[in-house]
């Protein structure tokens, strides 16, 4: 007596319409069994791919058959049973050893004869070829996209995958939220958790509606995709996506993140620490808090003292109370300040320089675009060397990444020049404005303002 197990499978990744749903497979098999007068022991269903090993229900089928509870399988099509070489081989082997007496498929002819087994083996081989080919096609598609500078993945937050053109476009609403987040974080006052809450407030969350993981937020803030760099499988490509985060803003955010990863110790606990060395012996300055208690009047009061660490030699310097340190610093800042009339003259001079720079800028841009052309030529030669197998794959990838990064940096420089002229002008302007403000800061009443200067 031949007893059949009816096995139905459809995995979620099978998009082909010709694969029936599990319910329809059951219907078809029932009808087929009645027509062919087959005895079915049980129906087992599974929603897993047969491309890789490890299908628990399929294992159960094999076990039931090995235990003798059944000795044949009924399935809609052989590709429901196996799409990898191991499972296919197993089925043929069980037929060879007599554990399986029969296989039946409404859509595929099979007889337990040498001829039938031969046909089945070929069919299994075909499915494997189809699967391999599919993943090869995906890889080819990815390479093609990368060559065009398109990320072959889910679009990062603020972008969307355009389904028709298969490109990545700016999501007009979400990109505004992402940009706001970069701006917010660049102010330096928000934590990663604050940012995650901000995202949630504007509807960017996990699928469940919960706040984004902190790691996800960090990945967003450090994703170089926002400045035009695609990192795919460890290789770097030049993206062609439209950018909505200015590179300077992105750079600012990276600096804040780095500073938080490696906080300068104690800098925050004592305002003036790390600014000065002992004038007498050159040792570092340390600070400490002294508690004093005035039981009847002011209660507990903390006093901060700075002193020389005296690590090298005997040094005659004494403790200095924080207020006195501040006075000394104010005097220094006052000395470094720039009179307003001077500042005006300097800024005027700077304006003239700027006009001149603009003219120079154009020649700089020409130079940079020449350099970029040279890099492109190098990339071409590198690729040729790689294709001719003169260059190792590893070296090719490393060199290619270096060149592409260099190219992106040059392009960034070009845009920044055409937008704001040379960098030194901005730095100089900042310096003049700071020096002009120094007088005000030195006289300001607010305690510890000096520290805000980041001297």
Residue ranges binding Zn ion (CB under 5 A): 278, 280-281, 283, 308, 315, 317
Nearer to Zn ion, 280 or 392 (CB): 280
Nearer to Zn ion, 256 or 315 (CB): 315
Cα–Cα nearest to 292, from 308, 275, 305, 280: 305
- Do the bridges between strand 320-321 and strand 299-308 make them parallel or antiparallel, or are there none, so unpaired? antiparallel
d(CA 356, CA 163): 48
At a CB cut-off of 8 Å and minimum separation 6, what does 369 contact? 414
Residue 158, CA distances (Å) to 98, 284, 313, 336 in order: 60, 48, 60, 45
DSSP 122-188: HHHHHHHHHHHHHHHHHHHHHHHHHHTT--SSPPPTTEEEETTTTEEEE-HHHHHHHHHHHHHHHTT
- Nearest distance, CB of residue 455 and Zn ion, angstroms: 20
- Nearest distance, CB of residue 285 and Zn ion, angstroms: 8
- Residue 391 CB neighbours (<10 A): 18
Nearer to Zn ion, 96 or 280 (CB): 280
Nearer to Zn ion, 283 or 444 (CB): 283
- Nearest distance, CB of residue 282 and Zn ion, angstroms: 7
- Nearest distance, CB of residue 276 and Zn ion, angstroms: 11
Nearer to Zn ion, 130 or 319 (CB): 319
Nearer to Zn ion, 141 or 282 (CB): 282
Report the Cα 241 to chain-centroid distance in Å. 16
- Nearest distance, CB of residue 433 and Zn ion, angstroms: 35
Q: Maximum CA pair distance of the chain?
A: 109
- Nearest distance, CB of residue 280 and Zn ion, angstroms: 5
Nearer to Zn ion, 254 or 317 (CB): 317
d(CA 156, CA 361): 34
Contact present, 221 and 155 (Cβ < 8 Å): no
Cα–Cα nearest to 455, from 270, 266, 276: 276
- Nearest distance, CB of residue 246 and Zn ion, angstroms: 46
Cα–Cα nearest to 411, from 247, 273, 270, 192: 247
Cα–Cα nearest to 55, from 83, 75, 76: 83
Nearer to Zn ion, 245 or 320 (CB): 320
Strand partners for 160: 169
- Nearest distance, CB of residue 313 and Zn ion, angstroms: 8
Nearer to Zn ion, 315 or 451 (CB): 315
- Nearest distance, CB of residue 288 and Zn ion, angstroms: 16
């Amino acid at each position: 007596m031949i007893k059949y197990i009816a096995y139905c499978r459809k995995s979620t990744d099978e998009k082909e319409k010709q694969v029936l749903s599990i319910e329809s497979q059951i219907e078809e098999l029932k009808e087929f069994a009645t027509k062919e007068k087959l005895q079915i022991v049980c129906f087992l269903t599974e929603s897993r791919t047969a491309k890789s090993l490890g299908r628990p229900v399929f294992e159960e089928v094999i076990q039931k058959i090995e235990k003798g509870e059944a000795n044949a399988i009924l399935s809609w099509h052989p590709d429901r049973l196996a799409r990898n070489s191991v499972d296919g081989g197993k089925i043929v082997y069980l037929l060879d050893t007599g554990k399986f007496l029969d296989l039946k498929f409404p859509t595929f002819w099979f007889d337990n004869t040498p001829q039938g087994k031969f046909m089945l083996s070929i069919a299994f081989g075909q499915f494997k070829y189809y699967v391999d080919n599919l993943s090869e096609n995906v890889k080819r598609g990815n390479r093609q996209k990368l060559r065009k500078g398109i990320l072959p993945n889910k679009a990062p937050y603020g972008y969307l995958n355009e389904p028709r053109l298969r490109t990545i476009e700016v999501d007009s609403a979400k990109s505004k939220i992402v940009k706001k987040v970069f701006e917010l974080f660049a102010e330096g006052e928000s934590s990663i958790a604050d940012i995650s809450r901000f995202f949630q407030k504007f509807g960017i969350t996990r699928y469940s509606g919960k706040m984004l993981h902190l790691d996800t937020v960090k990945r967003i803030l450090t994703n170089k995709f926002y400045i035009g760099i695609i990192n795919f499988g460890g290789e770097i490509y030049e993206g062609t996506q439209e950018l909505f985060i200015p590179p300077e803003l992105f750079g600012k955010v990276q600096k804040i993140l780095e500073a938080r990863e490696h906080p300068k110790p104690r800098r925050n606990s004592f305002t003036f620490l790390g600014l000065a060395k002992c004038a007498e012996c050159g040792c570092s300055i340390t600070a400490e808090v002294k508690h004093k208690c005035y039981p009847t009047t002011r209660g507990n009061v903390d006093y901060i003292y700075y002193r020389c660490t005296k690590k090298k030699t005997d040094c005659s310097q004494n403790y200095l109370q924080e207020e006195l340190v501040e006075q000394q610093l104010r005097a220094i800042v006052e000395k470094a300040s720039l009179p307003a009339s001077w500042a005006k003259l300097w800024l005027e001079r700077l304006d003239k320089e700027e006009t001149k720079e603009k003219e120079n800028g154009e020649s700089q841009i020409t130079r940079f675009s020449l350099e970029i052309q040279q890099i492109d030529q190098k990339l071409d030669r590198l690729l040729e060397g790689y294709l001719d197998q003169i260059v190792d794959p590893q070296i090719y990838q490393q060199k290619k990444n270096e060149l592409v990064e260099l190219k992106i940096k040059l392009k960034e420089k070009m845009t920044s020049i055409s937008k704001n002229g040379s960098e030194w002008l901005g730095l100089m302007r900042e310096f003049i404005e700071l020096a002009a403000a120094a007088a005000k800061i030195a006289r300001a009443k607010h305690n510890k303002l000096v520290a805000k200067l980041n001297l």
